[in-house]
């Protein structure tokens, strides 16, 4: 496997540590878990939604935490003892999970809802006014002398 050395870039840049760490992680074999499955949707120009399939989990068994540039969703089933049940086949997962998402700058969590076994997390990107592009008007300068076109007479 090929490894890229980013140390020359570390010496000449400031504040890009998170970007280089993400690039380092891209080359690593995928060690992330596949449970629970999720979708990331774009619902507007600056609005997004993460939908996770968390069938069997209650609101009290799920926790969502947003911390600088990271969103963490955890699920932990309460300890239910099924002494009276004799399972012939057990295919419904009761395992705990933790799923992390990297958030871009200025992305905030607006809310979350749980409906029909799907956890919906709404995100919005709000760019501060100082960071938004501005249109600069061009003012034509008025000169005192009238404009004349020079030409030759034949």
Q: Kindly report the pTM of this predicted structure.
A: 0.64
Mean pLDDT, rounded, for 102-129: 90
Q: Assign domain 32-80+88-128 to its CATH architecture.
A: Sandwich (2.60)
26-53 pLDDT tens trace: 655 555 567 889 999 999 888 999 999 9
Query: Can you give the C-alpha Rg of the chain in angstroms?
Result: 27
More confident position, 151 or 78: 78
For CATH 2.60.40.790, the residue range(s) in the chain are: 32-80+88-128
Cα–Cα distance list, 133 to 45, 78, 130 (Å): 16, 49, 8
């Amino acid at each position: 496997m090929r490894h890229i050395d980013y140390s020359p870039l570390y010496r000449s840049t400031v504040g890009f540590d998170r970007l280089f760490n993400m690039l380092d992680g891209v080359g690593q074999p995928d060690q992330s878990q596949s449970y629970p499955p999720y979708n990331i949707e774009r619902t507007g120009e600056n609005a997004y939604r993460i939908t996770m399939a968390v069938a069997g989990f209650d609101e009290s068994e799920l926790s969502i935490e947003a911390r600088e540039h990271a969103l963490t969703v955890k699920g932990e089933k309460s300890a239910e003892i099924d002494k009276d049940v004799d399972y012939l086949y057990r295919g419904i997962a009761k395992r705990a999970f933790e799923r992390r998402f990297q958030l871009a700058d200025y992305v905030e969590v607006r809310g979350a809802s749980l409906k029909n076994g799907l956890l919906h997390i709404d995100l919005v990107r709000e760019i501060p006014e100082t960071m938004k592009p501005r249109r600069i008007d061009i003012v034509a300068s008025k000169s005192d002398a009238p404009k004349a076109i020079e030409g030759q007479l034949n």
